[in-house]
Amino acid sequence: MHARGGSAAASGTLYDATMTVDPASLKIQLYPASILRERCEPVTYTDNVRAVAQRMVEMMYKADGVGLAAPQVGLPWMLFVADVPEDEGRSSETTPPSASRGAEVFINPEIVGTAGIPEPMAEGCLSLPGVLGEVFRPPTVTIRALDLEGNPFERTATGLLGRCYLHEYDHLTGVLILDKMDDRELRKNKTLISSLERRAK
């Protein structure tokens, strides 16, 4: 998930299930790359998965993002990373938290449940540079996953943090913010979306 514009090179799908992934080869995939529409598969926790997750954290920071999902770096894996910094109105100390305490890694995440009436908030995406539009999401989510060390954990989050988890989880099912924006929000972003589509041709 992304708050402001940025740039990254587009490239084809990099992953072959028989290969070990070189974390240094990963690149941010831009819409309309087909990998962004795939349903991701759970992964077996290995040193390579750990190295990829660590590289994704670095890439997220470099791109000034608050979340990054594996298909966004070309991998159809159930994996995403997040770090929503504390800010005015966002804290890692509240229950549930609305900000991260540092980089968070979610390997094979599952949504345990959501709570509350869906609320709108403007969202961006590192795979859709410059696009920004309102998306409705439930305010609170509970998610279960393995952490960077392969240990299971469960976490409930709200505010921008909960929204970020839901945005990143959507990527693992091939869903983009474009699918959740209404016609008005899509019209506002029409020029940017069209230029991304043209670039890819």
Minimum distance from residue 171 beta carbon to Zn ion (Å): 6
Of the candidate residues 36, 43, 99, 125, the single one contacting Zn ion (CB under 5 A):
125
| Segment holding 183, helix H or strand E | helix 183-188
Label residue 130 left, alpha or beta by phi (over 0 means left) and psi (-120 to 50 means alpha): left
Residues binding Zn ion: what is the number (CB under 5 A)? Answer: 1
Residue 35 is a binding residue for Zn ion (CB under 5 A) = no
Q: Is the peptide bond before 139 cis (omega within 30 degrees of 0)?
A: no
Q: Which residue lies nearer to Zn ion by CB, 38 or 45?
A: 38
Residue 168 designated active-site? yes
CA angle 111, 115, 116 (to 5 degrees): 145
| Segment holding 155, helix H or strand E | strand 152-158
Q: Which residue lies nearer to Zn ion by CB, 5 or 152?
A: 5
Residue 157 is a binding residue for Zn ion (CB under 5 A) = no
Q: Which residue lies nearer to Zn ion by CB, 125 or 196?
A: 125
Q: Are 88 and 26 in contact (CB under 8 A)?
A: no
Residue 132 is a binding residue for Zn ion (CB under 5 A) = no
Q: Which residues are tagged catalytic? A: 168
Chain positions contacting Zn ion, by CB under 5 A: 125
